[in-house]
């Protein structure tokens, strides 16, 4: 669809925008429309995330710092680690490519 085309209404809700679809499903139950649905198959490609356990006191301090910056604790940890890894690479003279995906 290009920018000039009018959005087509969706099947069940007859909505034309994401907001209209959300509004419809906020006030309706899928159970009432089950006979109008069909099975679909799709693939989800999600990047793997790694989890690291933190001491509860460290996490509490992290939350405070993140809140001050208006970001999530997870984002703050990723930023700090990226900075540290980049600095470490510069100090050792290694040219590893360090990137973060948020």
pLDDT at 64: 97
Q: How far apart are CA 16 and CA 8, in angstroms?
A: 6
Q: Which distant-in-sequence residues (6+ apart) come within 8 Å of 21 by Cβ?
A: 10, 13, 15
Query: Counting beta carbons within 10 angstroms of the beta carbon of residue 95, is it exposed (0 to 12), middle (13 to 18) or buried (19 or more)?
Result: exposed
Q: What is the pLDDT of residues 52-63, one digit of tens each?
A: 999 999 999 999
Q: Where are the domains of the chain?
A: 7-42, 49-102
Question: For residues 74 and 90, is the Cβ–Cβ distance under 8 A?
Answer: no
* Mean pLDDT for the stretch of residues 18-34: 92
Of 72 and 11, more confident:
72
Where do the H-state alpha helices sit in 1-102?
18-27, 56-69, 73-92
Mean pLDDT, the chain, rounded, equals: 87
Which among 52, 74, 53 is positioned nearest to 63, based on CA atoms? 74
């Amino acid at each position: 669809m290009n920018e000039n085309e009018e959005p087509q209404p969706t099947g069940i809700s007859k909505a034309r925008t994401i907001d209209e679809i959300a509004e419809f499903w906020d006030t309706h139950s899928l159970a009432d429309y089950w006979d109008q649905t069909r099975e679909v198959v799709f693939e989800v490609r999600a990047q793997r995330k790694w989890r690291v356990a933190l001491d509860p006191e460290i996490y509490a301090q992290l939350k405070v710092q993140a809140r001050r910056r208006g970001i999530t604790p997870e984002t703050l940890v990723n930023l700090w680690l990226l900075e540290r890894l980049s600095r470490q690479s510069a100090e050792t003279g290694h040219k590893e490519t360090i990137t973060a995906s948020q």
